[in-house]
Amino acid sequence: MLRRSALLHGSTAAFIAIAAAAVFTTLMPRAGWPHAAVAALAMLAMLCLAWVHDVRRRPASLKIGPDGLRAWNRAGKPIAEGRVAGFGQWSGWLLSVAVVSDNGRSRTLLVTADMLCSDHFRELSVQARRAAHGAM
């Protein structure tokens, strides 16, 4: 079972706040503060809804094996299943794993280091690297 990522939630919240502030500061000189505030609040609401949708689709548990990777969300619904086609790792903090199903659909899973203990994160990155290089 994966933990919820404080790193991912924090960076997403910061992005949403910066985007809403950017909309407000861009529109305020041109349209006045009431219209800029409405536009910023609309942007804030839209991005928060997208964030909630994304949280529901994030993996809550993973199983990686010789035939591929499986991921489930918190409701137990499978969200990705197939072979590992590629991966990217950024400085031991973030792992991006591309999973391609049998029907050709691909899905990218983001796993941050705070979702797993350090040993499991390292093991997942090594297994994803081996699977990705074996698929190429």
Q: Which residues of 48-78 are buried (b: 16+ CB within 10 A; e: fewer)?
A: eeeeeeeeeebbbebebeeebbbbbbeeeee
Backbone φ and ψ of 30, nearest 5°:
-90, -40
Please provide the distance, in angstroms rounded to a whole number, between the alpha carbons at the two ends of the chain.
29
Distance CA 18, CA 16 (A): 5
The pTM of this model reads: 0.69
Structure confidence by residue, pLDDT tens digits, 80-98: 888 888 788 887 788 888 8
pLDDT of residue 135: 56
Choose between 23 and 101: higher pLDDT: 23
Q: Which of 22, 16, 23 is closest to 38 using CA atoms?
A: 23
Q: What is the pLDDT of residue 99?
A: 85
- Say what the pLDDT of residue 48 is: 96
pLDDT tens column, 36-46:
999 999 999 99
Cα dist from 114 to 7, 12, 49, 121, 124, whole Å = 7, 15, 24, 9, 13
Task: Report how far Cα 118 is from the mean position of its chain's Cα atoms.
Answer: 19
The pLDDT score that the predictor gives to residue 107 is: 86
pLDDT in tens, 98-126: 888 888 888 888 888 888 888 878 877 88
pLDDT in tens, 61-83: 888 777 778 888 888 888 888 88
